[in-house]
Amino acid sequence: MIYLSSFRFPDWDTEYNFRLNEVKRTCYNTMYPFFVLSRRSLTELNFSEITILCGGNGSGKTTALNVIAEKLGLSRSSLYNRSSFFEDYLGFCSFGAEQAMPGQSAVITSDDVFSYMLDIRAVNDGVDGRRDQLFEEYSRAKYDKFRVTSLEDYERLKNACDARRKTQSAYVKSRLAENVREQSNGESAYFYFTQKITQGALYLLDEPENSLAPDLQLKLRDFLADSARFYGCQFIIATHSPFMLSMRGARIYDLDDDPVSIKKWTDIKNVRMWYEFFKNNKDLF
């Protein structure tokens, strides 16, 4: 499914004329996002169901995603690098859409995933504290000697009987609220994407491979491909990962080229470096 068909950015001349005619003050060290994408003559992107933006650090991948997301008014959770010139820049941008943008469309960044993992850690820390309290309670209840003299002692008696009947782990487990399933950072990150991405929407993903080991990168790649193929999703992805770049049917823009060009994933410089590295060390395998 294609919702966003194209996006147009201002060219270098348009940006230069804006600076010449509109920006009278010279106190600015930067006019970001002006002159980031135009320096490689990137003025238009045409999208397929899966479009990938690749390139080195500073090539403009994240800038392009942020500009597209803001122009379309997509949902987002994390702050991003936004200068006082951002609105001016958006005024020079335009886009083509094949159909109305679904309301759940969103931009998802590595900051979103990191915040999610911190939330899980905070919940688990709270559960761990309660667990320690219950360990102490179990020891007291198991060996407590007392007489029931009033109804106030009834709960204490129940705890003592329960402690003597159960093992420590069973006692604690029966009283502890169900814990968030403990996962590695990578597993939590992968789980976040599978929960956040629903059917029938446009998603902009900024380096989704962060925190993911190769096996989980491959799982995420297949999940995204299936979401586009079977569940009506469209993806625009900024990535360094050769695993993500190998996604079947993806249209790949190389932002390191001048001008920016569409390439096969096997011709991307980053992928070729991995290939040459392993080829040069093949005797060690």
Q: What is the pTM of this model?
A: 0.76
Tens digits of residue pLDDT in 54-91: 998 888 999 999 999 999 999 887 666 677 889 999 99
Can you spell out the DSSP letters for 220-274? Answer: HHHHHHHHHHHS--EEEEE---HHHHT-TT-EEEETTSSS-EEE-GGG-HHHHHH
CA distances from 12 to 39, 70, 161, 209, 260 (A): 7, 21, 79, 32, 14
One pLDDT digit (tens) per residue for the chain, 285 residues: 999 999 999 999 999 999 888 766 555 667 889 999 999 999 999 999 999 999 988 889 999 999 999 999 998 876 666 778 899 999 999 999 998 999 999 999 877 877 766 666 555 555 555 556 766 776 776 666 666 566 556 667 677 777 677 666 666 666 655 454 555 666 778 888 888 898 899 999 999 998 889 999 999 999 999 999 999 999 999 999 999 999 988 999 999 998 999 999 999 998 999 999 999 999 999
pLDDT of residue 188: 79
Tens digits of residue pLDDT in 223-264: 999 999 999 999 999 999 999 999 988 999 999 998 999 999
Q: Which amino acid does the sequence have at 21?
A: N
Our measurement of the distance from residue 210's CA atom to the centroid of its chain's CA atoms, rounded to an integer in Å, reads 8
Q: What is the CA radius of gyration of the chain?
A: 27
Q: Tell me if the bond preceding 259 is cis, omega within 30° of 0.
A: yes
Domains and CATH numbers, the chain: 4-112+185-284 (3.40.50), 114-175 (no CATH)
Answer yes or no: are the C-beta atoms of 208 and 220 closer than 8 Å: yes
pLDDT of residue 199: 86
CA distances from 77 to 115, 174, 196 (A): 9, 36, 12
Three-class SS state of 58: coil
Q: Which amino acid does the sequence have at 246?
A: S
Question: Pseudo-torsion of CA 103, 50, 247, 229, nearest 10°?
Answer: 70
